[in-house]
Structure 1
Amino acid sequence: MAAHPFAEVALPLPVDQLFTYAIPDALAERAVPGMRVTVPLRNKIETGYIVSLSDSSPVESPRRLIDLPDQKPIFTSEMLRLCRWIADYYCCSFGEALQNAVPAGLKMRTTMRYTLQTELLTAGRYSERQRKVIAELFNRGPLTDAQIAAAVGRASLSNTLQSLVARGVLFAEPVVTGPGVSMAVETYARLIEENVPDMAVLETLQRTAPKQAAVYFDLLHGDPDQPVALLYQKHNATSAVLAALEKRGFIERYDREYWRAPEFKADPRAREKMRLNEEQQAAFDAISGAMARDEFRTFLLHGVTGSGKTEVYLQAIEYALSLDRGAILLVPEISLTPQTVGRFVARFQERIAVLHSALGKGERYDEWRRAQSGEVRIVVGARSAIFAPLHRLGIVIVDEEHDTSYKQGDTPRYHARDVAVMRAKMAGAVCVLGSATPSIESYYNTEIGKFARLSLPNRATRGHLPEVRLVDMRAETKELGGQVILSRILEEEINRRVDAREQVILLLNRRGHSPFVLCPKCGWVAECSECSVSLTYHARGAFLSCHYCNARQEIPPVCSDCGFNPLLFLGTGTQKVEEYLMRTFREARIERMDADTTAGKGGHAKILGRFAAGDIDILVGTQMIAKGHDYPGVTLVGVLNADTSLSLPDFRAAEQTFQLITQVAGRAGRGDRPGEVIVQTYRPNHYAIQAAMRHDYAAFYKQEIAERKAAAYPPIRRMANFAVECEKPDIAAQAAGLVKRIVLEQIETLGFKGVETIGPAPAIVTRVMNKYRWNLGALSRSAQRLNALARATRTQFHARPDMNAVQLKVDLDPHGVF
């Protein structure tokens, strides 16, 4: 009998409750909190997570656990507490938060398996599709719905299967499919030293079976334990040769697990520990001092671009390892990972695991297990790496902490920076948030004493911050006429750098060739059929694409409305810039880096590797080229349209503009030669652009926080967004109004004062993937009240049966809500 006969299980469903199950005696010893479990739920099987054990059950005769797929828990008590906090703060279920923390290779799913009841198969009328399904099951035996769909097609398949089940022809049962990957093994051959034959036997073996003898002597006189693939290669042997030796009792074959680890080239510049300057040393002393005292603290490491933040990270992690503590380093972009990991590999050799979405499932699975087993003590990765199962965590570092990619768009809509702070707090560790352009929220937290601020105001090398020049594109366009891609001064400076064999980075935060296609006669614009946006023309492949739903269309030869030809391809994307550069600088080696050119595995690393090797003269790309890269050969950076984000109806628009310009400007002049930045803008007098030109974060923050205080926007007050989505526009509008009424009612019921609502209003992009979208904002100085309001509103809304066709998304601390 189990010490605690019942388990409380969290399921990855949008339901704010735990489910109680009885623990079978056979599973009692392994049924502990943190274990993954399969359980029955109605007529299905679900995979969930045991979060606690209990002596009693709130329901009479609870159903029993089915199985425990793992040998040991996949969540520690610390990770269970962290995911509980995520569920509470970001308004999702405990199970959804736990499911999010599990790597893709470990996730299991439930499906239906169908078996043909041949004894119940009677004569009668069957549709052609029903006959196909019956034939597949007769010939192949029981199949899952996915296997049947692959054979006969998915269209209306559920109706076909349900009708056959209703007639008794098919038997349907839920089954759990295992994880998408498993452990990787390699077969080895091992010498059995207790059974070495005498010389006479070996001489006979040489005469009668020379390949067996060659393999045996290799193991006897060389390494006694070798991969069979290597033995096959060296001796032109086959499996039959090893089988014969195994039958004689001379060797044995066995499978040995190996780790599928991504390959990263060590950065030789980071191999030797650098001597810290006075400012770096002060930062390191503060961080290491807190670790030595086992004190949780959050530091904002505010250092200009090139100030040596990475060296502080490296030495702080080295100190954590000396205390037998682990370390997590988060980077915002997959494109940053190769260079960052290269530095860490050089400094720490093999003691690193890497976690990000561009890895294969097998690699992510193994890297996660290496961290869980203690094989590694350092994890580097993007947002999801914050859930790495490291033990005795000593330090969590969030590099480029201002970056919006740390905010997840799907449930749970967490911000990795804030989760990092909370994980460090629960572990008694130190959290370091690093940036040259800190988020307004983080800098404000240092102003009110919540975080400690550490400053690196100078570059670590002898170099200076690059000079920034503004080009007023209003005057440039007026003088040159037409569409101007490069201003005259920028074109001249590019030419000079290419002649001097120096490198250039050009930023345009818009991929594709032309953002929209227009008929000059009637004004028709090519638009997405599923989203309320224009289609972008992509010259490579010659197609139109929606950058919201990724739908593709062929380019119409004439206007779809009036038949006029030719159409105009207006606006500028990275492909158009690349074409212009190739025509203008014919001798230069030009490369484009955006989501289109980096889509394949290792796409970022390949382009950046060539750039680091000096094989690219001009690199043009989107914001992924602006962040954290360190290439000494870059002496010129051009920002082609600095105003793009300023025009967005978002209270963070100025902040994002300042950050992007400052970050990309910081790529110039990191080597021995001075750098220069040329910013093309139609709004040269805007305070964000003026502050970026002077590398003056303090001036920007002073103006921006005054704007936020005047409007009482974050960080002065916390924000929640209620997003409504529905395929029917009238119902979407009604639902948005209903959410507003529920929010106001709950504010009154809960007695919350000082909570303000904004909207509801249609989203700027009103329709995405054929769903109409509305937003309602709520602001409060109390995060606790905002959370309670959000959860109560969601519960009340979901209780309305007339809103079943509507999806309500609740987002705490939202980003990018227009």
Structure 2
Amino acid sequence: MKIAAVCVNVSTKIDTKVFDYHVPPSMEEVLRVGCRVQVPLGSQLCDGFVVDFPNSSEAMNLKEIKDIIDKEPVISQEMVELALWVSAYYLSPLHKILEYILPPYARVQKEKWVKLEDACSLGELTQTLALLDSLLKNIIEALSKGPQKIDKLIKRFGANCNGALEDLQSRGVLNFYWQFTPLGKEKIITCFRAKVNIEEKIAEQLKRAPKQMEVVQYLVTNGPQSKAQLTNILGINNNILAALINKGIIEKYEFREQRLPEVHEEFANNVVLELNNYQKEAIKRINEALDAEIHTTFLIHGITGSGKTEVYLTSINAALKRGRGAILLVPEIALTPQIIGRFKSILGDKVVVLHSNLSQGERLDAWESLRIGQAKVIIGVRSAIFAPVQNLGLIIIDEEHETTYKQSEPEPRYHAREVALKRAQLSNAVLVLGSATPSIESYYFAQKGEYGLIEMPERVTKNSLPDVKVVDLREEFKLGNKSIFSRALSEAITEALNKDEQIILFLNRRGFSTFVLCRECGSPLKCRNCSISLTYHAATLEMKCHYCSYKTRVPPRCPSCGSSFIRYFGTGTQQVEQELKLIWPQAKVTRMDVDTTGNKNAHQNLLAVFKKGESDILVGTQMITKGLDFPNVTLVGVIAADISLNLPDYTSGERTFQLLTQVAGRAGRGAKKGQVIIQTYSPDHYSIEAGKKQDFLQFYQQELAARRVMDYPPFSYLIRILVTDYHEKTVIVYLEAFSEIIKKDFVDNVEILGPAQAPIGKIKNRCRWQIILKGKNLELLKNAALYGLHQTLKGETNKTLRVILDVEPQSIL
């Protein structure tokens, strides 16, 4: 009998299991890899994914698969293979990965039902139940009317219903089963069209039915119409339409409407641009790799404004002409309006978009359009790397250095760049990584020859990079300037406004004040659930925690000492916006941060306002630092460059340089010269000095030297073991035991950093401690992490303890 390997959804603290099952003869012809099935596991039925058909099994007495949920595979064999790799590489449960990449149309709501066994005789049951209690009798009577949801029975008969149902099941009276209801549905539109022209005989036939005649005239004149359109415009009812159908004058038909996200007209751009020599050379190398149909990886290091987007567009067009599909990943939803506007203007309906701000229906239609080959290109954030692009030939990751490409919560904790590399290998596709500030690791691999390096050192407009001035805020304070804005930045803002030029101001903190402090005892007002300060939001007069969403009003007195001397410290985007309006009341200010972009289409609507020139100043967090192209922006101001620099993370210098260089690149992209003003308390730090010069190589050499001394990536690998629980002692005891196991068995090959409290020691009332495993061999590190996990969780009964393995973490906060 045929054997199927099924990944079953029975998560434990260690992993998710794959079990072997016999395939019933009736299923052998239809069951394929990627189908979901129901299988027995212990005394219950579980759902799972078929991931393989092994020739043999080491298990004895295999059980049979009970049912097939999907008639067709919901995940292709190629994507199952990719999921297996992601599971092994990131030590993530396979079932969580398969659920994560499940297409929208296949996502289901799982509900438990119960029904009477077919063989049961209701009369005999009623007589038997006369000797039993009334609850069993009531349940049987309810089920005699047909299957029932378990939840409804419990709601009707109370919590004791569970025990009664189990009793009846043990007697063979009833049976439990799962029902799966799709969460996403295709949008089917009912339409009508005229079958005849308005001839004399039709007019005569409908002489006594003026409303019917009106419908026919409208359909002949305007073409097919939906039922909703006819009802709204003509005010007709179903009887009129039914009468015309019966007379054979009109016909009804249905079609699937594709729900596409709106692209603001401001971002439509079909202008054919002339490429410079650097762009032509980049495209030539990518085309040669496409022709070879062998996996190749390129790193495009192009300064801001060097025309990387046109290289992407031309390369994707080249892939399409060769019959191959393409994926373009962007790090932020904020980047999609401009890119989608440009790509759709050139490639039309071959392009779809995928990100979290789309509706369920829009995601479903985009996914389905790719699956059937109607669309060939997807633009999206990191999850789009799993999209079902047919005959994939090209993957492009824009701003490849961005940390948003690494998923941290929830599982799977994958990096889209590494997954893209594996998927490109599986598909013999070309992978292109692009950035003005490549990650240290990517540029290091390019220098070693593992990636092909493409340099684009000139702006396409022939303009030079903007002039950059660094302002020492310590000196500003000595001179008595306590404003958010240095004198240099204030003068530059005034000058730009007088010239009707636009301004971008960057601050990587949302809110009004970054913390609220008692001036008498010095205690900051902290979140009651997390070990971080609350952020004050002036718009709602509330203090909010940006980790657990706890919010409260500012107390009249300090909770610690009772003092009334409460003061707001620090600066957030809301406060910058307010100060701008006070100092430059004539200026129109737009703010972009998490608080202003929560609604659908908010990103593109705010950017469209700025692009049209209806706003003078754009204030925002990191979502405005990259990819945006506004020719009239001549001034960029960085309010506080030290925010990312002072984070307790080995990548803080790299993040600071990248942010400064990227946001500086928004200035002077048109015909006018740009300038950038960076405000900082650390003007001598090498990342800020290199950012001032916009000199990537200078920064890369200094950062790489520091990494080599400290033996951090790319010279080593890291795995973070983060443990959380409501009781700190539980966490510490667990990590100490974990650490001792690793020291005992892997002491020569694994360096252990910790145990130590995480930089953010508590979130949502859960205490957070961690250890970092560091070593030269990633497979050995993973073996050590898994071994420590299995040993420490063996026999563990604490249900609140949570252990997180993060392979190659992007942050240790």
Q: Which sections of structure 2, spanning at least 5 residues, go unmatched?
A: 117-121
For residues 46-195 of structure 1, the aligned pairs below 5 Å read 46-54=46-54, 56=56, 58-104=58-104, 106-113=106-113, 142-143=148-149, 145=151, 162=162, 173=176, 175-190=178-193
Given residue 186 of structure 2, which amino acid in structure 1 is its aligned partner? M
Secondary structure, aligned partner of 1:793: helix
State whether residues 536 and 545 of structure 1, in contact with CA within 8 Å, keep that contact through their aligned partners in structure 2: yes
Distance in 2 (CA, whole Å) between partners of 1:307 and 1:44 is: 59
Show the counterpart of 1:449.
449
C-alpha distance in structure 1 between counterparts of 2:625 and 2:199, whole Å: 69
Partner SS for 2:663: helix
Aligned pairs for 1:443-522 (under 5 A) are: 443-480=443-480, 483-522=482-521
Provide Cα deviations, 1:564-608, integer angstroms capped at 9, x if missing partner.
324211111111111111111100001111000001111111111
SS in 1 for 2:628: coil
Partner of 2:426: 426
The CA deviation at 1:227 is 2.2
Is 1:815 the equivalent of 2:797? Answer: no
Cα distance 1:121–1:274, how it changes in 2: closer, same or farther (>3 A)? farther
> How does 1:593-672 map onto structure 2 within 5 Å?
593-672=592-671
Equivalent position of 1:762 in the other structure: 757
Displacement, 1:213?
3.2
Q: Structure 1: which amino acid aligns with 2:352?
A: A
1:173 Cα deviation after fit = 4.0
State how far apart, in whole Å, the 2-side matches of 1:568 and 1:189 are: 67
How many angstroms apart in 2 are the aligned matches of 1:198 and 1:39? 63
* Matching of residue 799 in structure 1 with residue 794 in structure 2: yes
Q: Which amino acid aligns with 1:808?
A: V
1:243 is aligned with what amino acid? A
- Judged with a 3 Å threshold, the aligned counterparts in structure 2 of structure 1 residues 41 and 183 are, in CA distance, closer, same or farther, namely farther
| 1:305 correspondence with 2:304 | yes
Distance 1:591 1:160, change over 3 A: farther
Deviation at 1:343, TM superposition (A): 0.8
2:642 match: secondary structure? coil
- How has the CA–CA distance of structure 1 residues 265 and 522 changed in structure 2, closer, same or farther, with 3 Å as cutoff? closer
In structure 2, the partner of 1:388 is: 387
Tell me the equivalent position of 2:721.
722
* Preserved CA contact (<8 Å) 1:137 1:143: no
Contact persistence 2:35–2:50 (CA under 8 A)? yes
1:470/1:37 CA distance change after superposition, 3 Å:
same
Report the counterpart of residue 3 of structure 2 in structure 1.
Answer: 6
Residue 786 (str. 1) matches residue 781 (str. 2): yes
Pick which of 671-680 and 778-787 moved more. Answer: 778-787
Residue 569 and residue 293 in structure 1: after superposition, are their counterparts in 2 closer, same or farther (change >3 A)? Answer: same
Conserved 8 A contact 1:13-1:93: no
Deviations 1:130-183 (A, max 9, x none): xxx99x9999994454x799x89xxxx996765675787998945243231111
The aligned residue for residue 229 of structure 1 is: 228
Compute the displacement of 1:122 (Å): 11
Partner residue, 2:119: none
User: In the alignment, is the contact (CA less than 8 A) between 2:519 and 2:567 conserved in 1?
Assistant: yes
**Structure 1 residues 78-87 or 633-642, which shifts more?**
78-87
Moved more, 104-113 or 633-642: 104-113
What per-residue deviation string (whole Å, max 9, x for no partner) do you get for residues 317-364 of structure 1? 111011000110000001101111111011111111111111111111
Residues 690-729 of structure 1 mapped to structure 2, 5 A cutoff: 690-729=689-728
Aligned partners of 1:565, 1:70: CA distance in 2, in Å?
A: 64
* Cα 1:620–1:138 shift into 2, 3 Å: farther
Residue of structure 1 in register with 2:568 after alignment? 569
2:587 maps to 588
CA distance in 1, matches of 2:219, 2:522: 78
Contact 1:296 / 1:425 at 8 angstroms: preserved in 2?
A: yes
- Aligned amino acid, residue 319 of structure 2: A
Residue 187 (structure 1) shift: 0.5
Provide closer, same or farther for how the CA distance between residues 517 and 34 of structure 1 changes in structure 2, counting only shifts above 3 A.
Answer: same
- For structure 1, list consecutive stretches of 5 or more residues without a partner in the other structure: 127-132
Q: CA deviation at 1:85?
A: 0.9
Equivalents in 2 of 1:244, 1:40: separation in Å? 54
1:780 counterpart letter in structure 2: G
Within 1, Cα distance between the matches of 2:483 and 2:86? 48
Once the two structures are superposed, residues 279-311 of structure 1 have per-residue CA deviations (whole angstroms, 9 ceiling, x without a partner) of: 111111111111111121110000000000001
- SS of the equivalent of 1:644 reads helix
Q: CA, structure 1 residues 475+64, in 2 after alignment: closer, same or farther (shift >3 Å)?
A: same
1:226-282 Cα offsets, whole Å, 9 max, x none, are 422333345432211112223344444333211111121466774133222111111
Question: How far did residue 542 of structure 1 move?
Answer: 1.3
| Partner in structure 2 of residue 213 of structure 1 | 213
Please give the root-mean-square deviation of Cα atoms over the aligned residues, in Å: 3.1
1:772 Cα deviation from its structure 2 partner: 0.9
Contact 1:12 1:48 in 2 (8 A): yes
Per the alignment, in what secondary structure is the counterpart of residue 667 of structure 1?
Answer: coil
In 1, Cα distance between equivalents of 2:621 and 2:158: 43
Find the aligned partners of 1:268 and 1:599 in 2 and give their Cα distance: 20
Q: Distance in 2 between matches of 1:575 and 1:125?
A: 64
Separation in 2, partners of 1:352, 1:40: 42
- Per mean C-alpha deviation after superposition, the further-off stretch among 345-354 and 789-798 is 789-798
Q: Which amino acid aligns with 1:809?
A: I
Instruction: Verify the 8 A CA contact 1:735 1:803 in the aligned structure 2.
Output: no
Structure-2 separation of matches of 1:245 and 1:26? 47
Percent identity, aligned pairs only, is 38
Moved more, 163-172 or 81-90: 163-172
* Equivalent position SS for 1:521: coil
| CA-to-aligned-CA distance 1:52-92 (integer Å, 9 cap, x gap) | 22455554554443443444222222212211111110001
Most deviating of 648-657 and 13-22: 13-22
Residue 188 of structure 1 deviates from its aligned partner by: 1.7
- Aligned equivalents of 1:549, 1:138: Cα separation in 2: 47
Note the alpha carbon deviations across 1:356-391, whole angstroms, 9 max, x for none: 111111111110111111011110000000011011
CA drift of 1:94 comes to 2.3
Q: Which residue of 1 aligns with 2:541?
A: 542
Aligned-pair CA distance for 1:533: 1.0
Rounded to whole Å, the distance in 2 between the matches of 1:296 and 1:717 is: 26
**Paired residue secondary structure (1:350):** helix
